Structure 1
Amino acid sequence: MKAVIKGCKANFDIITTVPGDKSISHRSLIIGTIPKGVYTIENYAMSEDCKTTIEVLKSLGVSIVSHENKLLVNSPGVYEFHKDVEILDCKNSGTTARLISGLICGANIKTKLIGDESLSKRPMGRVIDPLEVMGGNIYDFKGTLPIRFEKNRGLTSIEYELPVPSAQVKSAVLIAGFLSNGVTKVIEPIPTRDHTENLFKFLGARVEKCGDKISIENSPIICKDIIVPADPSSASFLICAALLGHNIKLTVQNVLLNESRKTYIDILKAMGASIEIVGKGIVNNEPVGDLVVYSSELKGVKIEHHIIPSIIDEIPVLSVVAAFAAGETVFQGVEELKVKESDRVEGIVKNLRKANLKATYSNNNLIIQGFHVEGETSTEGSVSIETNNDHRIAMAFAILAMKLKATIIIDNWDCSEISFPDSKTYFSKFMNFMK
């Protein structure tokens, strides 16, 4: 369904939170159900992707009862999962597909993994390659979903250097490594988000990190209740809307403040954003706190290649912010953006140009020329945003309404539910939805 957005509301002091973190929600089920037992998950992200993980685990034999965003989970233990499941449908969720692949191989499950049209175009070789080396029995694999898993003779540990910085690949190998014989070591030259390691440690697993090497081995773990902090990636859209607004103060409460997830905040501060971080403690091995944001005048920055993996989800919204910052912003080495839910590089460049804003892609770099004047841009009438059914493109370009005189038309707002449930309610704190 289209969303038609006109102008921004005159809100000056907004206090809110956002739904639970998607990455931790996925892992709280996929890893949390490995031991036998009963536990609860508070503030589980009820996004479409995270609902997919619920359905996949149910298909494997896990009992999951949900009440709003709280789950009661009763797991038979990974070795008692159903061993022959005809199909596991990952729909649009790349996290589900990649992490569950490690679990399937480690638990010796026969199944066929499928996804929707978008997910079926995304690369899976980077996950399947190390799993096959470990002893995974995978048939008819042609680089993408569908993938057929057959029974194997048990996995053996490996030492594996990530060919690309990917928390999903790392997590798949660590999950499979935990369920294998020996000590599995993953080397990541460029660090990625570490929620998998943190959750394994929280449950009692032997996980060690030394330099760029992470080691894991099969060890006793127990079910524990898990609290999911608010998602910093979802918060980024509201934060950026507040920054582009006029005289707005925004407080987002109980946000995940993991170092690997708040890099975009450091970038915004380097651009001149007024953002205060108020720490509130540690929840299941993850730091949480409040973010206090004030509307700010911003300047362009250069974002180097090694930082990109830490902001891969936030690049679309950072690109929109950069379009209204003084000077030039360069995102170096963003080729990974081309194989997300859509070609996000193309989506960013095309949609910024529709709004008469300057963006180019050259030599794997995304370059935004900022339009920075007091008031509004010369764009009038309406700007129609093509999302290609990509949730982050839809939400990133909604915040154009904070600056443009034009009416912003998002061709498919419903896709935002993939990662940000009830997103319209949160965005309405800033913007006027006309339909």
Structure 2
Amino acid sequence: MKSPSATLLAEVRTFRQNHPDVRYVDLIALDIPGHFYGKRYPVEMLEKVAAGSPLKLPQNAVLLGAQGGLFKIGDYCFNDGDPDANRRLVPGTLKPVSWESQPLGQMLITSDGTAAPIEFEPREVLTKVLERLQHKGIHPVVAFELEFYLFDKKLDNGLPQFARDPLSGDADDQPNLHIERLSRFSEVLDDMAQTAQEQGIDITVITAEIGPGQFEINFGHCDDGLLAADWAALFCRSTRGVALKHGYRASFMAKPYLQFPGSGMHVHVSLYDAAGNNLLAAHQQQPLRHAVAGCLELLPHCMPIFAPNHNALRRLGGTVNAATRASWGFEDRDACVRIPESDPRNLRIEHRLASADANPYLVLAAILMGLEHGLEAKREPITSLNEDRNSGTDFPVEMLDAVRAMQQQPVVRDKLGAEFVDVYCENKRQDHLAFQQEIHAREYRWFL
């Protein structure tokens, strides 16, 4: 069996042979708000890293705010000397970048698996949850679904414009689910799908959604939770790049239009034992009910993860298929936790609350934490929406309330890590306060 460094070195050398025109590779990781940070490495230096040379980046790069600034969070950022932290290359993620003007490669990096993982790095948080489940004999299978909007490449005084129909040249300003929209925008959508597949992402179904210029991409079911989250993160990056190449602007913003549906991140999760038996289907599906109860109990305390910014909270305003309370139901898209119709082998939950711009590593970690908690607590869930359309429990819809609810919840602190929870909540609090530090034109209209 090859050592990790030998495997990585073989991967880099094969890449160089297949892509001799690539001179640089972007080494990237996802920060707390869900943006990629990293360094652009000469491919010759990447080979040295693969062979075992140190790869270090500032630890506090993970703490960047939504606009890229650093906040004082405890002793981090301003009282710690801004130390470097080790990263490692993620095997299997070295791929060509086809949407840039010059040949380029990219590869994921992470602190998980190093001698001193960064406790608040999103990928490390998910790694710990998955390792804990594995030790308990629980093996998740995961599939993400992501909604996004296409806009015209040019903004109008900073505001988005409807994407232009390639056939008519008119604005695609009509909300619909018509299959014809897939045909009209097939050139850019096909390129998005092909580019994603080149990145190793298992793309399945493409759907025209209700909003004008809105689409949904489904990914295949994956028995590696980290890989499933990697796919979601990398798809957002490649899709934005491909859209710009075709004269569009792709956005995973949660609620770009008040009058049209927002964009969500739906996550399908089933749980299996080592023998491949579906744990949720055992004992007349009683574990499924327990898992749902756990998800709903912790959901109000994970809102800063599921709705990570001011705009994401706008999406939860009662529009089409967007839940306004923590609820569940069979084949019910108004529920936060939907149980799709399936045979016992494929029985799963579909978690529908997260916004499309949420951090996929943290969203999956929070969902798995809820399922784990439910299986341990063995409580019955509240009444389903199928039995009572008014069933549900409230969750916070203001960021500061949501942060307090998350930071004070003992189960969340225990299962996601107290250090992560404190850092994450302070990051969200500071982002929210920074967002409020600008006076908008509406304030002058109302109060001048």
> Whose strand fraction is larger, Structure 1's or Structure 2's?
1
Tell me which of the two structures has the higher relative contact order, counting C-alpha pairs closer than 8 angstroms and 6 or more residues apart: 1
TM-score, scaled to structure 1: 0.28
> Whose helix fraction is larger, Structure 1's or Structure 2's?
2
